[in-house]
Amino acid sequence: MTEYQMVIGGELVAAADGQTFEVVEPHRGTVVGVVPSGTARDVDRAVSAAQDAFDGEWTGMAASDRGRLMLRFAQVVRDHEEELSQLESRQIGKPISGARWEVAQVAKVLEFYAGATTKLHGSTIPVSRPGLDFTLREPIGVVGLIVPWNFPIMMAAWKVGPALAAGNTAILKPASYSPLTALRLGELALEAGLPAGVLNVITGPGPVVGAGLAAHGGIGKIAFTGETATGQEIMRTAAGTIKKVSLELGGKSPNIVFADADLEKFASTSPYAVFDNCGQDCCARSRILVERSVHEQVVELFAKATQAVKVGDPSDPATEVGPLVSFRQRAKIEEYVASGRDEGAQLVTGGVRPSDPTLADGAYLMPAVFDHMTPDMRISREEIFGPVVGVIPFDTEEEALRLANASPYGLSGSIWSRDMAKALRSAKALRSGVISVNCNNSVHIEAPFGGYKQSGIGRELGMEALELYTELKNVFVDIS
């Protein structure tokens, strides 16, 4: 079992008080790594290292040179793709095929933002006074990046990429279920030649280390991905120092199926839109809204496709759904399944532990499909964050959109129809940040990603993300 260290100021270090915690693999329940459990002292150390780096060569560096370093960083990630994928798969039970795809995305995100370093600029503005008015896009300084356990290294890259491209220095804080790939990412940044202190990685309990970052006077901005309740807490904590805050939070996304849709395509692809990553996906389409005339047909097709999903050992490349992240998470999901039953929804398939004895030691749960869910049920209102989907029939387009929007969340959603006018009307009417039509793809490195309502503040990915990591300065020059 490997002992890991934090990455602060270019050095690999233990927690200031020497405390550690264990990372447990959910497939078998064995310990896969021992990691420093940081405290406020480690937050202080990381902030001063990041500030030193910001005051040093990083800030004076030409944008193109910063871009070149980031490209090298991307290449080093590619060189370690298999190692990082195995680590990601083991620490959270993510199927290896998914982990490989996500690590490849990390390199691509870093490449995208490496190219962006030289495309980030201000503008000139025709103000009323005689003179020259222009804006400068400048880095904020030291930024804190707090990420969740469901897509650990990919969520880290979504933040590290734009943060560094804009010229900031950063402190990355991974979730305690999934610190291993983040710590390796910090080491690989050094291997790629990023100056010491530009990317620091610290680990430890969210309420200590995460909250410590949110409260710290030396940090100018917090970028957070995680639960809505944690996001609220971070906003409150960050208010003390008026930090900039961007938040990517929870979701309860709809998958709207009109009767004229390609139902076969919907049914064969959509189980992955909710059960991928064992349903631990902020974009999970966990509510299927289906036009009543095709309701029974859709439930039958979808249940059949769900039963064909391969649940199993995450290290098997054929596995599509692995275990939940922890036994605690499985207990929480089983409670949701029980509540769905108790409130009168009909369990069509899944929701039980697998009968395969080789999976008995892991936190597994078979993908569950509920029919006859109603909007007032807990399974319809709350983000479950597990492999559970519910079906609600509707009669009209207006009713479908009303049901879809009746959620405090607004992250993603899909619309299925061969009538493009209806699909586009629906896409405009949905109060969500990322919409897919006749598919479920909501993440594109080049396009903005983020939520409406309680799903978040700000947009990641694309050139839009750079706005979250810059200050905008206006300069007026009297040339009379």
Q: How many residues bind ligand NAD (CB under 6 A)?
A: 33
* Helix segments in 117-261, DSSP class H: 152-165, 180-191, 211-215, 228-239
Is 282 tagged catalytic?
yes
- Which one of 25, 111, 233, 248 is the catalytic residue? 248
- Which one of 25, 88, 282, 460 is the catalytic residue? 282
Query: C-beta of 150: minimal distance to ligand NAD in Å?
Result: 5
User: Other CB atoms closer than 10 Å to residue 423's CB: what's the count?
Assistant: 21
Give the one residue of 111, 248, 291, 371 binding ligand NAD; rule: CB under 6 A: 248
* Helix segments in 308-383, DSSP class H: 327-342, 378-381
Query: How far from the centroid of its chain's Cα atoms is residue 2's Cα?
Result: 26
Site for ligand NAD in 258-287 (CB under 6 A): 282
From the list 399, 359, 420, the residue with the least C-alpha distance to 27 is 359
Which residue, 58 or 469, is less far from ligand NAD as judged by CB? 469
What angle, 0 to 180 degrees and rounded to 10, lies between the N-to-C axes of helices 180-191 and 63-79? 120
Of 73-81, 95-103, 225-233, 345-353, the window that binds ligand NAD (rule: CB under 6 A) is 225-233
Query: C-beta of 324: minimal distance to ligand NAD in Å?
Result: 12
**Rounded CA separation 401/426 (Å):** 7
Give the one residue of 230, 246, 407, 436 binding ligand NAD; rule: CB under 6 A: 230
Site for ligand NAD in 101-130 (CB under 6 A): none
Give the one residue of 141, 210, 220, 462 binding ligand NAD; rule: CB under 6 A: 210
| Token pair listed for 187 | 């080491």
Is 439 tagged catalytic?
no
**Rounded CA separation 117/390 (Å):** 44
List % helix, strand, coil for the chain (3-state, nearest 5): 40, 20, 35
Query: C-beta of 249: minimal distance to ligand NAD in Å?
Result: 5
Give the one residue of 29, 131, 207, 240 binding ligand NAD; rule: CB under 6 A: 207
To the nearest 10°, report the CA torsion of 441, 442, 446, 452.
Answer: 170
Which residue, 250 or 367, is less far from ligand NAD as judged by CB? 250
User: Other CB atoms closer than 10 Å to residue 12's CB: what's the count?
Assistant: 15
* Per-residue mark of binding to ligand NAD, 427-456 (x: CB under 6 A): ------------------------x---xx
Site for ligand NAD in 131-190 (CB under 6 A): 146-151, 155, 173-176
**Rounded CA separation 423/213 (Å):** 43
Helix (H) or strand (E) holding 203: none
Which residue, 226 or 462, is less far from ligand NAD as judged by CB? 226
Question: How far are the Cα atoms of 34, 176, 187, 203 from residue 16, in angstroms, in the given order?
Answer: 15, 18, 19, 12
Give the one residue of 106, 157, 192, 249 binding ligand NAD; rule: CB under 6 A: 249
Query: C-beta of 344: minimal distance to ligand NAD in Å?
Result: 26
Eight-state DSSP code of residue 357: G
Q: Cite the active site residues.
A: 248, 282
Which residues make up the interface to ligand NAD (CB under 6 A)? 146-151, 155, 173-176, 206-207, 210-211, 214, 225-227, 230, 233-234, 248-251, 282, 383, 385, 411, 451, 455-456
